[in-house]
Amino acid sequence: MRFPLLMLLLAASPLSAQDFQLHLYALKDGLPTGHVAVTPASGYNNQPAFTADGEGLLFSSDRAGGQMEIFHYALADGTLTNLTNTPDESEFSPQPSGTEGAISYVVEQGVPHQSVWVQAPGQPRQRAINSLIPAGYYAQRPGQGTLLWARYGYHLYFEPWGERADEGHLVSANVGRSLHPIPHSQAFSFLHKRVDGSWVITAFEPDSGALRPLVAVDRRSEDYAWHPDGQSLWMGRGSELWRWSVAGQWQKVADLGVGTLGRLALSPDGRHLAVVSTP
Q: 3-class SS at 48?
A: strand
* Residue-level pLDDT at 98: 78
From the list 152, 149, 146, the residue with the least C-alpha distance to 172 is 149
Q: 2-30 pLDDT, tens per residue? A: 333 333 333 333 333 479 999 999 999 99
What would the DSSP string read from start to end of 147-190?
EEEETTT--EEEEETTS---GGGEEESSB-S--EEPTTSS-EEE
Hey, what CATH topology would domain 26-278 get? Neuraminidase (2.120.10)
What is the band of 63 on the pLDDT scale with cuts at 50, 70, 90? confident
Q: 3-class SS at 38?
A: coil
More confident residue, 167 or 44: 44
Work out whether the CA dihedral 134, 137, 142, 146 comes out positive or negative: negative
Q: 80-89 pLDDT, tens per residue? A: 999 999 988 9
- Domains of the chain: which residue ranges? 26-278
Distance from C-alpha of 111 to C-alpha of 108, rounded to nearest angstrom: 8
* Residue-level pLDDT at 109: 77
94: cis peptide before it, omega within 30°? no
What is the band of 110 on the pLDDT scale with cuts at 50, 70, 90? low
Sheet with 21-28, strands from edge to edge, namely 31-37, 21-28, 272-278, 260-266
Neighbours of 195 (CB within 10 A): 7
Neighbours of 203 (CB within 10 A): 15
pTM value is 0.91
Distance from C-alpha of 105 to C-alpha of 108, rounded to nearest angstrom: 10
What is the band of 162 on the pLDDT scale with cuts at 50, 70, 90? very high
Distance from C-alpha of 247 to C-alpha of 98, rounded to nearest angstrom: 30
Q: Are 188 and 204 in contact (CB under 8 A)?
A: yes
CA distances from 276 to 18, 115, 154 (A): 12, 24, 22
Distance from C-alpha of 172 to C-alpha of 155, rounded to nearest angstrom: 6
Q: Are 267 and 50 in contact (CB under 8 A)?
A: yes
* Residue-level pLDDT at 118: 95
| Interval 246-265 mean pLDDT | 96
| Interval 213-240 mean pLDDT | 97
Mean pLDDT of the chain: 91
